[in-house]
Amino acid sequence: MGGKLYLIPTPIGNLEDITLRAIRILQEVDLILAEDTRTSGKLLKHYEIQTPMQSYHLHNEHQKTHLYLNYIEEGKNIAVITDAGTPGISDPGYMLVKACVDKNIIVECLPGATAFVPALVVSGLPSHEFLFVGFLPQKKGRQTKLKDLSEEKRTIILYESPHKIINTLEQIALLFGADRRISLSREITKIYEETLRGEVSVILEKCKEKPLKGEIVLLIEGKK
């Protein structure tokens, strides 16, 4: 009988944001696949989890997916975790999930931490319909993607790094209009958690006055 693949959300900042079930499964599985074993090692040590761990990230998942698929087919249970949040959401995990689904292997994802949900809920923007985009293209196609999104009527959710946020806000002001409402959340669940809300031109000036730190979730009001 084959094993099972578990996708385990891990805290995005506050170490307390992990479920009792997640801790139990991480203790019980045969192997944990981690995006960065150094980062995940701190979490496992904190919760006294001694399960063997190997690296599984964007640069090796093409080579290692079938290796771990064979492990599961041999009866081993594997858990996938990332540095923070839910595997497969702008993080590694999709390739192994698809391989398991194609082989009719049981895949189970636990509920848990992810950055965009709390950012959406506190944004004050419509949350009944939304479009999750994740990270924009690094270079080529970035402006084209934003231009396409400028016609979107649902609330748009982006992930952005602090060193690119000013450039991104400038492009949004140009393509969406300087009066388009946005909400910018950073350092979610951490000590310096902050949410800025208002017209993109106003938030842009605030970001120029005081450079932001930490990963950012950016929400853009849909076109009316």
d(CA 137, CA 85): 21
pLDDT at 12: 95
pLDDT at 48: 97
In terms of C-beta density within 10 A (0-12 exposed, 13-18 middle, 19 or more buried), how is residue 116 classed?
Answer: buried
In terms of C-beta density within 10 A (0-12 exposed, 13-18 middle, 19 or more buried), how is residue 104 classed?
Answer: exposed
Q: Which CATH architecture has domain 116-220?
A: 2-Layer Sandwich (3.30)
Please, what is the angle between helix 142-149 and helix 165-176, to 10°? Answer: 50
Spatial contact of 72 and 40, defined as CB atoms under 8 Å apart: no
CATH class of 5-109: alpha beta
Return the SS3 of 153: coil
Spatial contact of 41 and 53, defined as CB atoms under 8 Å apart: yes
Domain positions in the chain are 5-109, 116-220
The pTM of this model reads 0.90
What pLDDT tens digit does each residue of the chain (224 aa) get? 689 999 999 999 999 999 999 999 999 999 999 999 999 999 999 999 999 999 999 889 889 999 999 999 999 999 999 999 999 988 889 999 999 999 999 999 999 999 999 999 999 999 999 999 999 998 888 999 999 999 999 999 999 999 999 999 999 999 999 999 999 999 999 999 999 999 999 999 999 999 999 999 999 999 98
